[in-house]
Structure 1
């Protein structure tokens, strides 16, 4: 597969297919690189459009032109066709493989047979007409695809088998069919995990992974917000995730958002909220939400609590030991004090006797 962008792109290997046709040339080893491009055009040449952008009623028809330019110093043979677009897992814009038949706007674009394979001289351009017919039962909203110029070259796959490699470039097609627009996102498969830290005074990190699906009929973007909170909303924190790439109707994109500074309160609620933002439309849409919960055990905090409890116990133990020792000393003193009056008179009598004898 290949990301198809408006304008001219250097060609690169993109997909494997059946063995090459004999009429599809391949550059010889060591030959200068072959570069070509596709851009919206007119009967008289390129008209400055960045993409094929239309707004049509069901059943409407039009004729337009794709300018295919050969920037190389040698002739090239290209296959010209249209295909449907989809959102890649990384959030890019891509087209179906050449061997997969389109069913949407790619199937509504038709080239005359003589333009489906072209030999384009070096340093020249061919403005290729095509006809776009919107079915009468076409669903309202956005339909995305692309016009492609492809060169097939022989190659080998990872197993050493001979395959055909399609090197293709092209221009995007954005068709909006008139009717009611219904932008809508859903948040699916929300999964959250907690990662703590050895520092008991620092919170951990909650990592939320969730799938955003465009269930509406227009291209959408948006900026998710993830919030976490403990029981009764204690320790609530939130972050705004990075803005989503443009997601085509029916497609999905997986997002991972991290919330630092999460206090480990045993169990944390994780909530995702995402307001759809339509591309080139002003239709309102409700926010999509998702909820999950994650266990956040306060390990380092528990160790710190035990250490503090041990320190308090040790202080109290020493105070009690000191109090017991002081009480024992006082008891001994009182006992000695109680015994001293009995010995005192005897000493006094003896001293008196000795005095008298003297």
Structure 2
């Protein structure tokens, strides 16, 4: 089905890839936003006037196009009648069964546009944002293959899965979605999503691939195991050359989600020197760590050189969004230690002691020289007195 809808007032940038020469921006999974983009025939990327973010969380992406035509579209959760207020697709499904849903793809442009619509696995980028694995890259879980985009009139199968369809100007097309969970699927969260991508033209050496996606929260029923496992990977001591300043103990650690549900993470690194001296701490958070994935973090708390520093990394898991996880979320903790030798302080002590010894030696030599001159003067005076006494005795 299709229907006309009003033009949007906000726009946002999603992931882009230039074919041939790769240029990529993050794919933002926000179903209620739209994207403006144009096809590329050269490597140059330029932002047009007025492409600044319209509101918080929104940004604009554009590129120089041969024809200069602007394309704007979005994808969102829907019912069979059209887009609905949901922010994502959320289903709890038994192994070996299926669930149905819908997504709506809207073309806000004044011309007909062809789109590729397909599903992919979910992942979290290094900066903590949820993303969908691009075509041609290794999938993270395989749950994207559980999602089938239903066939509709005037749509053609897409290589690699999904469909390709042309949408009339200022129209919305609702697509049926079937999620089939294999019988051997493991319990827990299996992140995925559905992408609406501007179909690529075979003309031109380099083209921009722009995508907008809607997230699918898929949870296979069964026992849930919320588990985060921390590991300290590297510790590096960097003393300050100022003997009156603290140094830096750089700690790199990994927090792996070894359970089967997505979790947030609050991490605290606490450390102290010998006898509890020089205490310091630093805290970090991660909004989302997906099952079978991990995050690497580096912290550098100021540390006083107390010869030996011992620390503790504590990880406190948290639920994400509207997720429900029965029972307590177990904390995890790991300890570490490192030599934090006071090199600058030792050097300062050596210089101080050396300076005192040198000063003492110089003073001693000066005192000896004075004593020697006094002795010579006394001997000279004694010798003169003796000579005079002898002369008097002779006279």
Which of the five TM-score ranges fits, normalised by the shorter chain? Answer: 0.7 to 0.9
Residue of structure 2 equivalent to 1:119: 166
Is residue 185 from structure 1 mapped to residue 237 from structure 2 by the alignment?
no
Asked if 1 retains the 8 angstrom alpha-carbon contact of 2:37 and 2:70, the reply is: no
Task: Say which structure is richer in helix.
Answer: 1
In 2, the alpha carbon distance for the partners of 1:29 and 1:251 equals: 41
**Alpha-carbon RMSD:** 3.8
Aligned 1:92-111 pairs, distance under 5 A: 92-99=129-136, 104-111=142-149
Residue 296 of structure 2 is aligned with which of 250, 254, 259? 254
Secondary structure in 2 aligned to 1:249? coil
- Give how far 1:222 is off: 1.3
In 2, the alpha carbon distance for the partners of 1:180 and 1:154 equals: 47
In 1, the alpha carbon distance for the partners of 2:375 and 2:206 equals: 102
1:232–1:101 distance in 2 versus 1, CA, 3 Å:
closer
Residue of structure 2 equivalent to 1:236: 279
In 2, the alpha carbon distance for the partners of 1:189 and 1:11 equals: 43
Gaps of 5+ in 1: 15-26, 336-358
In 2, the alpha carbon distance for the partners of 1:9 and 1:104 equals: 27
Is residue 3 from structure 1 mapped to residue 27 from structure 2 by the alignment?
yes
Deviates more, 1:55-64 or 1:77-86: 55-64
Aligned 1:57-136 pairs, distance under 5 A: 57-99=94-136, 104-114=142-152, 115=155, 116-136=163-183
Residue 264 of structure 1 is aligned with which of 269, 289, 305? 305
Gaps of 5+ in 2: 1-14, 16-25, 40-63, 156-162, 380-395
* Per-residue deviation, residues 43-101 of structure 1 (Å, max 9, x unmatched): 12221111112223334432211011111111111111111111223322111222458
Aligned 1:1-358 pairs, distance under 5 A: 2-7=26-31, 8-10=33-35, 29-99=66-136, 104-114=142-152, 115=155, 116-154=163-201, 162=205, 165-188=208-231, 190-241=233-284, 243-260=285-302, 262-279=303-320, 280-282=323-325, 283-313=327-357
Structure ID, larger Rg = 1
Secondary structure in 1 aligned to 2:351? helix
1:93–1:178 distance in 2 versus 1, CA, 3 Å:
same
TM-score (norm 2): 0.70
Aligned residues: 331
Asked if 2 retains the 8 angstrom alpha-carbon contact of 1:71 and 1:124, the reply is: yes
Deviates more, 1:163-172 or 1:119-128: 163-172
In 1, the alpha carbon distance for the partners of 2:293 and 2:87 equals: 23
